[in-house]
């Protein structure tokens, strides 16, 4: 059973230290959230899983980490300055401000009034002054997507790696969009992280690769714990496509608030590389490209016939925050243990779990037990399996329930038998089954390596 309501997840996130409202002591900043001690671990684990699958496990993808501040010309030629907007409307009665395409039945979501202003475009990009003089003449933007730096660095990556088509460039990083109505917790926010791949292919092979990446990305999400029955593939109608796209698939997920986009896989054609490319007659530019007098480079690549080609691009673009929300939704369960007892458990995939192992003393004020707990923890950290926690609450039942809620796969209990008997042994408890068995301390490294690695 996945989480039924967003309130369940929000409460768990705050109670257990996954996600907090930004600037909460001052009433919060709408559409901005902070990841707590456990949330940052879960988020990093999800990003690491993406990076591993994209960069380490493949031979055709390179990585990039580009700046957030973006030259205005980049977003002029990409089309964002002119087209990256949502329709905005105001309620004349309550003064609320909303996206016009989210208004139902022509009524204000706040007060129900039908007195709304005519929709007008609202550019979503955050503008920022650059340099010591803020007179409005020199400015840039906080990037609205991570993709553009990949395109503008295309030539440098090709020259430094000698890549041939097809190949990709992957990046994870912060993006910023001044959403009119942030909503649904971390689903739609103003500051968020993206994991984007730009996969460059020969023109004419783009549709084949578009299908390939759709299937590859669905499979990856299944490996993160999402059930295919809770996902849907939505083919974007031509009238709703982004200004750069020839076609787009959305991988949708059944979030607590409904079936909505988790990841987009777009066929961006040669729109971006072409628009950022210096005018060159010998390149035979396609109809998507416009000569760019400001660019100093030709963002193209030689094909097998030694002719310049502007590659087409397939872009799987994942929202990291939405990914965190999805895996938590899928993993959330409330189990009836009988006799009026229930437990909340996050059945996260073990590679995503914020804490991999909790070492728990049966008695927290016993020096011998505590010394052994510290020793075991330090030895387990050397295995490189991830975060190992020492849970020093003194109540074994509450410790188990806490680690059920935060998704810790294994709990190791150090008791009197551990320190009094030879060979030393501990109790290992499984999160999902709650089954327990004894393991010799000397055998723990091999046991955990097999379990996690």
Instruction: Tell me the domain boundaries of the chain.
Output: 6-84+129-328, 85-123, 355-452
Cβ 324 vs Cβ 46: under 8 Å = yes
Task: For residues 198-202, give the mean pLDDT.
Answer: 97
Cβ 286 vs Cβ 203: under 8 Å = yes
Give strand pairing partners of 248.
266
What is the rounded average pLDDT for all residues in the chain?
92
Q: Which two tokens stand for residue 257?
A: 């608030």
Cβ 171 vs Cβ 196: under 8 Å = yes
Q: CB 188: neighbour CB atoms within 10 A?
A: 19
Q: CB 181: neighbour CB atoms within 10 A?
A: 15
Task: For residues 233-254, give the mean pLDDT.
Answer: 93
Which CATH code is given to the segment(s) 355-452? 3.40.50.800
- Taking only the tens place, the pLDDT of each residue in 1-16 is 566 799 999 999 999 9
pLDDT for res 103: 87
Closest-CA residue to 143 (of 169, 172, 168, 186): 172
Are 6-84+129-328 and 355-452 in the same CATH fold? no
The CA distances from residue 376 to 90, 121, 192, 390, 449, in Å, are: 60, 60, 37, 10, 15
| Integer Cα distance of 26 and 203 in angstroms | 52
Instruction: State whether residue 89 is helix, strand or coil.
Output: strand
The pLDDT confidence band at residue 287, using thresholds 50, 70 and 90, is: very low
Evaluate if residue 275 carries a pLDDT over 90.
Answer: no
Task: For residues 356-375, give the mean pLDDT.
Answer: 94
- Taking only the tens place, the pLDDT of each residue in 390-432 is 998 878 999 999 999 999 999 999 999 999 989 999 999 999 9
Which CATH code is given to the segment(s) 6-84+129-328? 3.30.930.10
Instruction: State whether residue 253 is helix, strand or coil.
Output: strand
Task: For residues 281-295, give the mean pLDDT.
Answer: 58
């Amino acid at each position: 059973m996945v989480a039924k309501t967003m309130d369940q997840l929000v409460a768990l996130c705050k109670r257990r230290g996954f996600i907090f409202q930004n600037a909460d002591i001052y009433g919060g900043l709408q559409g901005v959230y902070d990841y707590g001690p456990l949330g940052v671990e879960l988020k990093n684990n999800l990003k690491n899983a993406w990076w591993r699958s994209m960069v380490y496990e493949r031979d055709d993808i390179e990585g990039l980490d580009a700046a957030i501040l973006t030259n205005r010309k980049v977003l002029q030629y990409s089309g964002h300055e002119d087209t990256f907007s949502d329709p905005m409307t105001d309620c004349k009665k309550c003064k609320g401000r909303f996206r016009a395409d989210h208004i139902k039945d022509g009524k204000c979501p706040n007060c129900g009034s039908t007195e709304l202003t005519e929709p007008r475009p609202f550019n979503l990009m955050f503008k920022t002054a650059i340099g010591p003089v803020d007179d409005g003449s020199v400015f840039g933007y906080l990037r609205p997507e991570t993709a553009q730096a990949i395109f503008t660095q295309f030539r440098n990556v090709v020259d430094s790696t000698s890549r041939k088509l097809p190949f990709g460039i992957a990046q994870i990083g912060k993006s910023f969009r001044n959403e009119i109505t942030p909503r649904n917790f971390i689903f739609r926010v103003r500051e968020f992280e993206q994991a984007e791949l730009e996969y460059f292919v020969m023109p004419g092979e783009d549709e084949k690769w578009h299908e390939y990446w759709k299937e590859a990305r669905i499979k990856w999400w299944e490996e993160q714990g999402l059930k295919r029955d809770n996902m849907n593939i939505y083919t974007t109608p031509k009238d709703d496509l982004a200004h750069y796209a020839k076609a787009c698939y959305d991988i949708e997920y059944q979030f607590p608030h409904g079936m909505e986009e988790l990841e987009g896989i777009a066929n961006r054609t040669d729109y971006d590389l072409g628009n950022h490319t210096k005018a060159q007659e010998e390149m035979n530019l396609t109809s998507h490209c416009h000569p760019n007098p400001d660019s100093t480079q030709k963002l193209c690549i030689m094909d097998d016939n030694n002719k310049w080609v502007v590659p087409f691009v397939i872009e799987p673009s994942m929202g990291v925050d939405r990914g965190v929300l999805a895996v938590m939704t899928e993993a959330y369960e409330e189990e009836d243990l009988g006799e009026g007892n229930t437990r909340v458990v996050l059945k996260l995939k073990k590679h995503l779990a914020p804490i991999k192992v909790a070492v728990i003393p049966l008695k927290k004020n016993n020096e011998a037990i505590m010394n052994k707990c510290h020793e075991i923890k330090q030895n387990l950290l050397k295995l490189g399996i991830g975060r190992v926690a020492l849970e020093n609450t003194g109540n074994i039942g509450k410790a188990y329930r806490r680690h059920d809620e935060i998704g810790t796969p294994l709990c190791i209990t150090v008791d009197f038998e551990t320190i009094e008997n030879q060979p030393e042994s501990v109790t290992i408890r499984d999160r999902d089954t709650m089954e327990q068995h004894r393991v010799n301390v000397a055998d723990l490294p091999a046991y955990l390596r097999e379990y996690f690695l």
